Amino acid sequence: MTDITKTDVLIVGAGPVGLFAVFELGLFDMKCHLIDILDRPGGQCAELYPEKPIYDIPGWPSISAQGLVDKLLEQIAPFKPDFTYNRMVSSLEKLEDGSFRVTTDENEVFEAKVVVIAAGGGSFQPKRPPIPGIEPYEGKSVFYSVRRMEDFRGHDLVIVGGGDSALDWTLNLQPVARSVTLVHRRPEFRAAPDSVNKMYAMQEMKQLDFQVGQVTGLTGADGQLSSAVIKGPDGDVEVPCTRMLPFFGLTMKLGPIAEWGLNLHENLIPVDTEKFQTSVPGIFAVGDINWYPGKLKLILSGFHEVALMAQAAKRIISPGERIVFQYTTSSTSLQKKLGVVD
């Protein structure tokens, strides 16, 4: 029997809105567990534009996206939320007692009375590279991440990309693979200069090959690659290739949420504007992933949504209990929860 992690509220997505939900729920003594597909909190703010300033957060004339995430983490720290990173929520089912069972893509099981979907534009997934006819090879000889280095032993490996993932795996798999060809469309790299220098040094020693160009074709059969065609400045080159690792960044996909029976509206989850509840009572959707008339995809709108959602969540978790509306400026009990008074 798999261990089941129990919590009051399970939050899918640890972007700014998911993080602030912990605060509003925490004020009502609800314990939160967040699951995110990235390896750290912050969602798009951390992944897409950490250094970009945001100008429409009330009270902050300008704050970097990562700065906002850091401040939110500081703000929710008193509520000690739990985080599970690098996981996608794959299924969600309603149990007989009205609570929900949530399973991740690594088969961890969570149970919560309330589920809050704060999944933004969906889950970040590796972007399929612009190589025609790549689909039949995916998962068989084309991989988007390295789970075990041994899987590449003795193979003719082609790595495509110019960022840190591409360069790091070029260096790390070179001793394991039979041959390594790195393909990037230009001789400048986004990766750390130190890795790039190491790669060039290994190329000098003929330990690997670096080709400037774009992969335009693949040959092979039954999902097994045999070669790749690289279109470079001097025309096409065919290189032996039995394993390929393309690193073309991440894109957002709605993913399994589409299967949860939430009556999607153009890939968004319709909610009411009183509780931000979905068509399934007990499941809420907040932030960029929800839809209602007049919806604006703004972080500040998400913050408003979680405040109202928390009231409704409290009624589910503590039925019959009177909910007292209080201000953090004057309520001693809220201040105790925040750890600012004894």
Partner 1 sequence: MTKLTFIAHDGTQFDMDAENGSTVMENAIRNAVPGIEAECGGACACATCHVYVDEAWTAQVGEPEAMEEDMLDFAYDVQPNSRLSCQIKVRDALDGLVVRVPARQG
Binding residues (CB under 8 A) for partner 1: these are 44, 48-49, 52, 121, 127-128, 130, 161-163, 184-186, 188, 190, 214, 248-249, 251-252
Q: How far is it, in rounded angstroms, from Cα 152 to Cα 148?
A: 8
Give 60 or 83: the residue with its C-beta nearer to partner 1.
60
H helix or E strand, kind and range, residue 19: helix 16-27
Q: How far apart are CA 340 and CA 52, in angstroms?
A: 31
Give 52 or 80: the residue with its C-beta nearer to partner 1. 52
CB of 55 to partner 1, least distance (A): 13
Which residue's entry shows tokens 């809220």? 334
Q: Which is nearer to partner 1, 254 or 280 (CB)?
A: 254
Two structure tokens written together for 213 = 């160009």
CB of 49 to partner 1, least distance (A): 5
Are 124 and 38 in contact, with CB atoms under 8 Å apart? yes
Find the shortest distance in angstroms from Cβ 25 to partner 1.
28
From the CB of 330, what's the least distance to partner 1, in Å? 38
Strand stretches in 173-315, DSSP E: 179-184, 209-212, 214-221, 224-232, 235-240, 243-246, 250-253, 269-270, 283-285, 290-291
Place of tokens 């913050």: 303
Distance CA(259)–CA(236), nearest Å, equals 43
Q: How far is the CB of 184 from partner 1 (least distance, A)?
A: 7
Nearer to partner 1, 253 or 337 (CB): 253
Q: Identify whether the C-beta of residue 281 lies closer than 8 Å to the C-beta of residue 272.
A: no
Q: How far is the CB of 185 from partner 1 (least distance, A)?
A: 6
* 122 or 282: CB nearest partner 1: 122
- In the complex with partner 1, the residue whose CB is nearer, 220 or 246, is 246
Query: How many other β-carbons are positioned within 10 Å of the β-carbon of residue 209?
Result: 15
